[in-house]
Structure formats: structure tokens, C-alpha cells
Amino acid sequence: MVESSDAIGFRGIARNNLLRSGQATTLLALFDSHNMKTFSAKANEVKRNWWIIDAQDQILGRVAVKAATLMRGKEKAIYTSHVDTGDFVIVINADKVRLSGKKEEAKTYMTFSGYVGGHHSESVKQRRAHHPEALVEHAVKGMLPHNRLGRHVFTKLKVYAGAEHPHASQQPIPVTSL
């Protein structure tokens, strides 16, 4: 009985042709599913790009998601979860980022020093007044892994309150869609 190409598939036909023609077994290994290797990226072989995100009039969470995704390298074909395959991200105009709803007054950031009476709380409005970069940094940090890899990836985030940044020589690519 002759099998159609749909029944045994392309690999089966190619394998049968190689066997009939007496080709070398190394070519046969190309079609052998047992010899497939899983690709694992190496951190020193990754090509790193620089991206710039303009946060002016953008929702804080959407800016943070895009920055965290680029920093992890999840949009790359070589993404490997346990290796830093991400790019550098510059966020400008962090002082002009928006929050939805009533979060400007209602959302609070809490810190605790570990000492008695060391509890400190501040609203988004207060934090924006004295350290606007911390809004974006805190949001992005929460979207990264909470381990050594996450701490290393976080160092690739550069946040600036205004429109100027010192990374023009890296020729950052503007992010168009958030």
C-alpha cells in the first residue's frame, strides 16, 4: 500500500527518500526528532538594544509593563527565562505620568525601617513632588522577578523626571506602542 504525503508527512517522505538513496546518516539525523536540542541563550552573546519610552500622559501601569517586558527580553525570539536576555530602557518625563481613577490621592506607598516608629507612608502626590522617578521605578520593580536575576535586570532601567537624558550616544529606539 502506498501512503500519501498527507498520511506520513514531509519528514517521513524525506526520511524514506534518504534511506532509498543511501545518503549519509548525518543527513538522516536532521530529521530525527530524538536529537533535537533545546536552545538556551547565553547572557554574553545577547545583542542589547536601547529603548526610550516617553511617559508623558501615559498610564503608569502600561509604561511599567512595556519597560519590564523589554528589560526581560520577552519580545525576543531567544528569550530564556533564567538568563538576562533583555535590553536597556530609558523612561523620560516620569513626572508627567498619569494614574487612572482616584489613585493620585488614594494610593499610598509605605516603607518600614525595622525600628520602632519607623513606619512612613506617602501618597502619590507627595512622592511625585519630591522623587517622581520612584513612581516608575517602583512599578517596574514589582513586575520583575524577585531574585538575583530581577535585581540585575532592574539595573538596566534608567528613569528621568524631565525630557533630557545622558544616553543619546547609545541611539535609543523610541517605543511607539504601549
DSSP for 109-171 reads EEEE-SSTT-EEEEEHHHHHHH-THHHHHHHHHTTS-SSHHHHHHHTTEEE-SSS--S-GGG-
Q: Give the architecture (CATH level 2) of 43-174.
A: Alpha-Beta Complex (3.90)
Please determine, for residue 27, whether its predicted confidence score (pLDDT) is greater than 70.
no
Between 36 and 9, where is the model more confident? 36
Ordered by start, the domain boundaries in the chain are 5-35, 43-174
* Residue 178 pLDDT level (bands cut at 50, 70, 90): confident
What per-residue confidence (pLDDT) applies to 16?
A: 60
**Of 174, 167, 162, residue with least CA distance to 52:** 174
Please determine, for residue 169, whether its predicted confidence score (pLDDT) is greater than 80.
yes
**pTM, rounded to two decimals:** 0.78
Distance between CA atoms of 3 and 1, rounded to whole angstroms? 6
The rounded mean pLDDT for the chain is: 87
Question: Any idea which of 39-43, 116-120, 158-162 has the lowest mean pLDDT?
Answer: 39-43
What per-residue confidence (pLDDT) applies to 91?
A: 98
Q: Give the mean model confidence (pLDDT) for residues 117-136.
A: 95
